[in-house]
C-alpha cells in the first residue's frame, strides 16, 4: 500500500521529519535574532564561500614560497625541488640530502667525522744497497 500525504504526516513510521525540523529551527532562529540577521547571515555565508577559496589559494602560494626550494644535488647535479629544513632523497642517485638555506647538502649522521682527502706526495726511498 502506497501511503498518501495525510498518513505520511500523521503516522510516525512513514514521516520524514527533515522538512518539519528545518521549519522549526528557522522559526526559532527568526524568533531569536529576527529576519534581518537571518538574511545577513545568509549573505555573510555566501561571501565567505566566495572569499575563502581565494584567501586559501593566496595562503597556500605564500606557504609554498616559504617552504619549497629548488637546487641541484651535490652528488649528481640533478635539479629537483624539496622542502626547507627537511631530509630528502635525490630522485636520480638516491643520496640522502638535507635542504638548508636553499641548498641541498649531503646528510651526515651524528658521530660521522667529515674528512677531506689530502694529496700526499710520495718520496721514493732507494733500497738499493750499492748506493
Other beta carbons within 10 angstroms of residue 31's beta carbon come to 8
- Chain residues binding Zn ion by CB under 5 A are 73, 75-76, 78, 90, 92-93, 95
What is the rounded distance in angstroms from the CA atom of residue 104 to the CA atom of residue 58?
27
* Nine-digit cell string for 115: 674528512
Q: Is 96 helix (H, G, I), strand (E, B) or coil?
A: strand
Taking the complex as a whole, how short is the minimal distance between the CB of residue 75 and Zn ion, in angstroms? 4
Q: Which C-beta is closer to Zn ion: that of 10 or that of 70?
A: 70
Taking the complex as a whole, how short is the minimal distance between the CB of residue 86 and Zn ion, in angstroms? 16
What is the rounded distance in angstroms from the CA atom of residue 104 to the CA atom of residue 76?
12
Taking the complex as a whole, how short is the minimal distance between the CB of residue 92 and Zn ion, in angstroms? 5
Q: Which C-beta is closer to Zn ion: that of 61 or that of 103?
A: 103
Amino acid at each position: 500500500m502506497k501511503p498518501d500525504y495525510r498518513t505520511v504526516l500523521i503516522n510516525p513510521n512513514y514521516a520524514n521529519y527533515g522538512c518539519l525540523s528545518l521549519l522549526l529551527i528557522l522559526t526559532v532562529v527568526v524568533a531569536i535574532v529576527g529576519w534581518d540577521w537571518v538574511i545577513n547571515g545568509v549573505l555573510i555565508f555566501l561571501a565567505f564561500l566566495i572569499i575563502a577559496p581565494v584567501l586559501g589559494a593566496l595562503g597556500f602560494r605564500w606557504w609554498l614560497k616559504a617552504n619549497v626550494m629548488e637546487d641541484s644535488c651535490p652528488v649528481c647535479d640533478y635539479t629537483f625541488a624539496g622542502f626547507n629544513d627537511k631530509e630528502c632523497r635525490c630522485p636520480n642517485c638516491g643520496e640522502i640530502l638535507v635542504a638548508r638555506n636553499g641548498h641541498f647538502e649531503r646528510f651526515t649522521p651524528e658521530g660521522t667525522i667529515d674528512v677531506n682527502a689530502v694529496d700526499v706526495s710520495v718520496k721514493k726511498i732507494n733500497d738499493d744497497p750499492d748506493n
